[in-house]
Structure 1
Amino acid sequence: MQRILEEERNTQRKVAEVLQQALQVGVGLEKQHEEKVQARREDVGKVFPDSPLFKEWGGSLSEDEQREAQALFDKYGYNVFLSDRLPLNRPLPETRDPRCLKRTYPKDLPTVGVVLIYLNEALSIIKRAMRSIIDRTPKNLLKEIIMVDDNSSNENLKGDLDMYVKSLQEENPGLRIARVRHTEQRGLAYARASGWRAATADVVAILDAHIEVHKMWAEPLLTQIKGDRTVVTSPVFDRVNFDDLKVIPYLSAAHAFDWALWCMYEGFSPDYYKLNDSSLPGKSPSVMGILVADRKYLGEVGLLDEGMKVYGGENVELGIRVWTCGGSIEVVPCSKIAHIERFHKPYLPDLSPAMRRNALRVAEVWMDEYKHNVNLAWNLPFENHGIDIGDVSERKKIREKLNCKPFKWYLDNVYPKLDPWDNLLAYGGMKNLDADLCIDQGPVPGHTPISFHCYYYGPQMVYYRTTGELYVGGIKSHKYNDNRCLTDAGQKNTEPGLYNCKEAINLLFQGKELKNRQTKRCLEIIKGVLLIQECTGQRWTIQNIIKELK
């Protein structure tokens, strides 16, 4: 019996040794396989080493996959290759202020109709937007989704999207899904107005189609509108990276703009921060474009300016109009929407011409004596700028009918941070008539202006104020920003400087000379070099005179 047990134990040891050897061989083979795969990946490398798409993402893709991803990125401006592989109902991170999680909202809120605007959007992006809206909006509040196609050319936005919409309607029989298709591209303002016209809900939420809504996104907005039907609201947008589609939390901020009417984020008023509660709604001078408002009120106040073309300006026009005509704008931090930040937009390679034209249109209708600040921002003459802004007579009638306040009231009471530029005397390129050269801001970063042949573009833009300040290279739109002034650094220095105007010893126009009041020295050009020296009578001229130079 003892011998049998010994033999059995020996057999078990041999089996164990064989199994261990086999396991080691298996691990070794697996490791070799991983090393070969990694080596192949390293051999592949980046097919598009300079592409922003692959700066942080895509290291494990094959060459064919990289080419497919890059082609889609070139077309859409975001990572469609990845989007097509993500779940349509992917979870979003919780990014709200913790105080938002404790808030409760009325049960008898108004219904909402969501308008999704798109032009050649990726199919998976639109599907994910619709899925998030349906999944994260209470069924008793979500009355309809209205899809506005601004004449897309993508084939899959026809039959394939139709099939998806049909499946959603079958899953949600009480939900209305309407389709609006333009037969020609009309631009954002017209598309948003088309969606509004198709809506029937109490409140309309006009959104881009490259979004995903967070849970509880609708209730905070609807609560504000229920309390005051004249308030136009905006959620806070979290950024979705264009490359890896990760959600980056954004803090709440006011939606502002500069005199060129480009949008920007800005702090709320000092009174807001005294409340020490960043979950509270904050007043805002404007909206970024995504907006939620009482449907009937939006129509009463003039909807959107459908005379705007392509992109930009309609949101600033709405903000000015709502405020001056009796309403208000609020950003609501407890409402969050994740919004893809495109690397490039689908409308035009350069949106500046459309933005400039639309900005001039806003200025003509709403800005009164301050309308020329838009010309200044775009470096255009005050008269005969040669840009057709279209017929604005109907928009002026709306302003008159609603008995809206003047733009100065808006500057004083709603947007006091915007510098009114009301003491500018002249602007444009500044030319030395003797040397036939212009002042140029020179290398940036740097503080040394130079003389250069006159091309009258950004680095040569000069602005002269009654204070004697001579800005070079641009003028800032806001009071909280300092400009760079042309400076005489003192008797021991013959090199002019460009420094913050609060620190500058300024040069003044005196006749045709540019002379410093304290040092009595002049800005002159000697052998092509810009110098501060004893005056020899060199003459300067500036492109555009607003008021008489003394």
Structure 2
Amino acid sequence: IFLILYCLLNSSETGKPHTMLIETSAQSSDIKHLPKVVQQKKKIPKPKLYPNSALFTKWGDDLTEDEQKEAEALFRMYGYNAFLSNRTPLDRALPDTRDSRCRNVYYPEDLPTISVVLIYLDEALSVIQRAIRSIIARTPKHLLREIILVDDYSKNTPQWNLSNVTTKRPGLIRKVRHKRQMGLSQSRNSGWQVATADVVAILDAHIEVIEGWAEPLLARIKADRTVVVSPVFDKVHFDDLHVEKYLSFGHGFDWALWCLYESFSQDWINKGDESQPGKSPSIMGIFAADRRFLGEIGGLDGGMTIYGGENVELGIRVWLCGGSIEVVPCSRIAHIERMHKPYALDLSPLMKRNALRVADVWLDDFKKNVLIAWNLPLQNHGLDIGNVSERKQLREKLKCKPFKWYLENVYTNLETWDNLLGYGTLKNTIYSRYCVDQGAVPGNIPILYECHSQQPQLCYYNTESEIIIGGLRSHKVNSNQCLVDSGSGSTPTLQDCKVARQKELHMHWDFRQGEAIRNKATNRCLEIAWGLNGYYELIIQKCTGQAWKIDNVITTF
């Protein structure tokens, strides 16, 4: 009986001890041998000092007020839970998220050596220490040549003490510090330029590598030195630092050149083997490449400023200039997804400028699509993209293919936007302070709203006489929202363009710049009228001669 009671007290289905109160009897002479159990008091949650902070949404109930203040201050500094990181073992175990087939692959001993570059701006010391510890522990010693730390002029860099993570490998760490902030692209170049191994792996510093991460990358590069490879990123949550497995995807982008995940080809899917590498149109910020090949194709574009677009530029250039890109699912890295980045609160201006630089060098006639995506005029957009003459000379020297080849052979999912006539905000000449807006989401009622020129107000008119409202999707698999006249009532609607075509809804409009917008089927017009709520509202009615203008005209219509 005593043994049963002991087991009940110290085990459960979840592996946690039961909490229970045992009432003893003086008649039991052996009761003194039972383990002493104290009834736990119900914990009272501490008041949250920062109820609106994303850090404390799911974490931090047990922190004191002083601990909350410290955690929030560190969170604002780094964009992740540095407070918790500082209290987490540097050698913590990670789940092995690889496909089971990856664990049975044999890799030869004579793989290329690797230099690992960790780039950072304002990282917590414990995060960098954990990254280094994981790389040393989970990379075969004979393959790891060096770890290069590139500091892009951090403001919150503590006095580094890395002796506790490199005691067994003196001289393994090399440091580079910029004298001014130069951005992601140049930081990666700085690390690559001082690397000495056969292969350079360029990573963010807020990562932990998973067992067996290096060998699959090195094996692919050994087989083909012109292939640039990426591991699969598992997500480390910024608040509680737990690791979430991500599925294997390729890396792509939209016409604004924001990177995004992209499905592998149907051929890869048909194989039914998730351990196999998949071709990828582009690459995100973490990759490995033959060090010399990376130099032959021009490294990364040092003319990119601060943040954004450099990974897409590299991806396009690799494909056009004799290489290829693959994502290798057997290589996995746990990557902290920051709640906010240290570069700027709004990254759009940086990204816009860099995207235009990429377009000018590599996209040929399709560079207009980048201007359209950013709602900029096709001529005289007014942004300084820096000197691109060297990059254009590099393209000629390497005899790179035209971008049309890339669209036809590599990234076939991108829409070419060949049928556009005009784009931008759509305004009625009676009251130009307000713009056509997609309205509430989810919903399908367009509205008038004070002009702000963001995505909900981006409109497009095309050669099929369709008016698309609320942004234009970059990929063929996605759908847009088209303006439709139901034929009755006065309320316009938005319908999925593909569905509207199939159902033959009234979605075609006669429109000339500075004139009426008239539905071809109903002969009614899109207009504005004074509503019962005391504001102008968007309606469809018998045409009264109202006129509309769209910001940018591609071809006179």
Write the distance in 2 (CA, Å) between the matches of 1:483 and 1:155.
46
Deviations 1:345-378 (A, max 9, x none): 1111111111111111101101111111111111
Structure 1 pair 532–396 and aligned structure 2 pair: CA distance change class (3 A): same
Total equivalences in the alignment = 521
Query: Paired residue for 1:531?
Result: 539
1:548 lines up with 2:556 in the alignment: yes
Write the distance in 2 (CA, Å) between the matches of 1:154 and 1:450.
46
1:15 CA displacement: 7.8
Contact 1:105 1:219 in 2 (8 A): yes
Structure 1 pair 296–483 and aligned structure 2 pair: CA distance change class (3 A): same
1:76 CA displacement: 0.8
Query: Paired residue for 1:128?
Result: 130
Write out aligned runs for 1:29-428 (5 A): 30-31=38-39, 34-35=40-41, 38-39=42-43, 41-42=44-45, 44-156=46-158, 158=159, 161=160, 163-164=161-162, 166=163, 168-173=165-170, 176-428=172-424
1:47 CA displacement: 2.2
AA matched with 2:121? L
Of 466, 469, 479, the residue aligned with 2:466 is 469
AA matched with 1:372? K
Deviating more after overlay: 531-540 vs 208-217: 531-540
Contact 2:490 2:539 in 1 (8 A): yes
Contact 1:507 1:514 in 2 (8 A): no
Deviations 1:106-156 (A, max 9, x none): 221100000010111000000000000001000111011111111122352
1:480 aligned counterpart, secondary structure:
coil
1:59 CA displacement: 1.7
Write the distance in 1 (CA, Å) between the matches of 2:140 and 2:278.
25
Write the distance in 2 (CA, Å) between the matches of 1:319 and 1:273.
22
Deviations 1:58-92 (A, max 9, x none): 22222221211111111111111111111111111
AA matched with 1:63? E
Write the distance in 2 (CA, Å) between the matches of 1:435 and 1:206.
53
Contact 1:150 1:181 in 2 (8 A): yes
Contact 2:460 2:467 in 1 (8 A): yes
1:371 aligned counterpart, secondary structure:
helix
Larger-Rg structure: 1
Query: Paired residue for 1:6?
Result: none
Deviations 1:472-501 (A, max 9, x none): 1211111111000111112x2321101111
Structure 1 pair 288–14 and aligned structure 2 pair: CA distance change class (3 A): closer
Write the distance in 1 (CA, Å) between the matches of 2:246 and 2:375.
33
Write the distance in 2 (CA, Å) between the matches of 1:128 and 1:137.
14
1:427 CA displacement: 0.5
Deviations 1:156-182 (A, max 9, x none): 2x3xx2x31x45554124x63211111
Query: Paired residue for 1:4?
Result: none
Contact 2:321 2:400 in 1 (8 A): yes
1:444 CA displacement: 2.2
How big is the alpha-carbon RMSD for the aligned residues of Structure 1 and Structure 2? 2.0
Write the distance in 2 (CA, Å) between the matches of 1:301 and 1:23.
73
Contact 2:56 2:239 in 1 (8 A): yes
Query: Paired residue for 2:481?
Result: 484
Structure 1's unaligned 5+ residue stretches are: 1-12
Percent of aligned positions with the same letter in both sequences?
59
1:507 CA displacement: 3.5
**Which runs of 4 or more aligned residues in structure 1 lie more than 4 Å from their structure 2 counterparts after TM superposition?**
13-24, 166-170
Contact 2:466 2:508 in 1 (8 A): yes
Structure 1 pair 118–499 and aligned structure 2 pair: CA distance change class (3 A): same
Contact 2:510 2:520 in 1 (8 A): no
